[in-house]
């Protein structure tokens, strides 16, 4: 696993963005219990089962939609962290900024050409198996999958609520109370629902309105949003996840995922600092909800909150976390120091992953069914909940 860091200039600190080339082995994992929060009050924390072994999960964001866990690679990197480093040699290595930057530039250039759309055989195979998997279901079931996809791909924030549902929470208030004790106050829950509805344009602000009917409609819409998981989305979430989980496995397929590094309960953002620190420590990352990826580099960059590759900044260094070479350990420790000093902006994150045994489908191909129908501008490859990325 190699980790390129990029920046706004040819020197550290590392940038207005950080991007990670993370080779992924996506394998579905199951919770040690029926719901992800029954072991621990905090979403994303607790004990889960990975390949038959119980592991401790640590949330990487407030919502708990991503977690990190220790692996054998974590212990190997911890051991490597005790390696004595010659200070003069380390200083000499870090001073050679041009060489480090050139290596990172080459990797970033390779990633731009390594999206799924650059590999027609894999893309065609994935489209065909996604279409066949949809057609293998009954007409009634296909209608249910289409409905679930309409919810998930809407702009109304349903994808956030569906992820909460797949994490095992039956209602939005239950989830919020598990996240923060402040939400044991119903007024705070109502405030969250209102802000969520306004953010995703589900509610239209009626502040100081004298129209009683308008105010009444607003309150009804807010109540419907508050109970939307149990009233509307729980069934479609389960239907979609089951369809994805039962799909033919995806192997040797490059996937990209762009994300912004915020940390809010009303989105699927991830705490960029916590994520990068976990990766540098050799931990595996689990996506507790659905995992949305892109077949096209430009779309992934858009989800980073950027418009083109150049705004990711000038690459600074590439860190090979699989290598025990002293040079790579110097770079790893240096990146951790930058992060701890607040000199590494993780506001934009680009994951480059290779699917191995992943359970998911191409949404465009799924909705086409018989090679006819509307194609979304975003060519999304959607994975079932509880996939993980680990070093290979």
Which tens digits make up the pLDDT trace of 189-237?
999 999 999 999 999 887 766 778 888 899 999 999 999 999 999 999 9
pLDDT of residue 5: 56
How far is residue 391's CA from residue 282's CA, in Å, rounded to a whole number? Answer: 7
Which tens digits make up the pLDDT trace of 77-91?
999 999 899 999 999
The radius of gyration of the chain's CA atoms, rounded to the nearest angstrom, is 22
The least confident of 137-151, 171-185, 253-267 is 253-267
pLDDT of residue 310: 57
| DSSP bridge partners of 147 | none
- Phi and psi, residue 133, nearest 5°: -65, -40
pTM listed for this prediction? 0.86
pLDDT at 3 over 80: no
Which tens digits make up the pLDDT trace of 52-73?
889 999 999 999 999 999 998 8
Mean pLDDT rounded to a whole number for the chain: 84
The least confident of 21-25, 81-85, 181-185, 223-227 is 21-25
Which tens digits make up the pLDDT trace of 254-309?
999 998 888 889 998 889 999 999 999 999 999 999 999 999 998 898 888 876 65
**What are the C-alpha distances in Å from 308 to residues 117, 135, 182, 303?**
17, 37, 40, 11
Mean pLDDT over 156-163 rounds to 96
How far is residue 320's CA from residue 21's CA, in Å, rounded to a whole number? Answer: 10
Q: What string of DSSP letters covers 250-310?
A: EEEEEEEEEEE----TTS----HHHHHHHHHTT-EEEESS-EEEESSHHHHHHHTT-SSGG
pLDDT at 353 over 90: no
How far is residue 121's CA from residue 125's CA, in Å, rounded to a whole number? Answer: 6
Q: Is 46 left (phi over 0), alpha (psi -120 to 50) or beta?
A: left
pLDDT confidence band for 27 (50 / 70 / 90): very low
Helix, strand or coil, per DSSP, at residue 56: strand
Q: Is 255 left (phi over 0), alpha (psi -120 to 50) or beta?
A: beta
Are the beta carbons of 316 and 79 closer than 8 angstroms?
A: no
């Amino acid at each position: 696993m190699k980790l390129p860091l990029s920046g706004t200039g040819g020197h550290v600190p590392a940038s207005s963005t950080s991007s990670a080339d993370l080779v992924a082995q996506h394998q579905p994992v199951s919770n040690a219990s029926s719901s992800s929060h029954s072991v621990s009050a905090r979403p994303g924390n607790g004990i889960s089962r990975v390949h038959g072994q119980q592991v401790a999960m640590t949330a990487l964001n407030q919502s708990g939609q991503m977690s990190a866990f220790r692996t054998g690679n974590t212990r190997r990197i911890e051991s490597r962290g005790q390696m004595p480093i010659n200070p003069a040699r380390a200083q000499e290595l870090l001073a050679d900024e041009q060489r480090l930057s050139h290596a990172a530039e080459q990797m970033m250039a390779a990633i731009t050409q390594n999206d799924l759309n650059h590999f027609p055989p894999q893309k065609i195979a994935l489209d065909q198996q996604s279409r066949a998997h949809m057609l293998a279901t009954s007409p009634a079931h296909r209608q249910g999958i289409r409905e679930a996809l309409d919810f998930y791909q809407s702009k109304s924030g349903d994808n956030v609520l569906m992820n909460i549902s797949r994490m095992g929470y039956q209602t939005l208030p239950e989830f919020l109370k598990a996240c923060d004790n402040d939400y044991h106050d119903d007024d705070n829950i109502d405030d969250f629902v209102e802000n969520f509805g306004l953010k995703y344009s589900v509610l239209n602000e009626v502040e100081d309105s004298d129209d009683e009917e308008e105010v009444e409609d607003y309150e009804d819409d807010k109540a419907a949003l508050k109970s939307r998981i149990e009233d509307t989305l729980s069934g479609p979430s389960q239907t979609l996840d089951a369809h994805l989980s039962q799909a033919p496995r995806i192997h040797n397929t490059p996937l990209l995922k762009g994300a912004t590094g915020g940390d809010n309960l009303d989105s699927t953002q991830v705490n960029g600092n916590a994520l990068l620190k976990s990766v540098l420590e050799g931990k595996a990352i689990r996506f507790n909800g659905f995992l949305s990826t892109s077949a096209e580099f430009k779309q992934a960059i858009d989800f980073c909150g950027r418009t083109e590759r150049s705004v990711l900044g000038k690459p600074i260094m590439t860190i090979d976390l699989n290598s025990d070479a002293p040079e790579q350990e110097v770079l790893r420790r240096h990146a951790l120091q930058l992060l701890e000093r607040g000199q590494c902006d993780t506001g934009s994150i680009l994951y480059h992953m290779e699917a191995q045994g992943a359970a998911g489908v191409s949404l465009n191909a799924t909705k086409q069914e018989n090679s006819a129908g509307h194609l979304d501008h975003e060519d999304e490859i959607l994975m079932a909940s509880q996939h993980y990325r680990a070093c290979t």
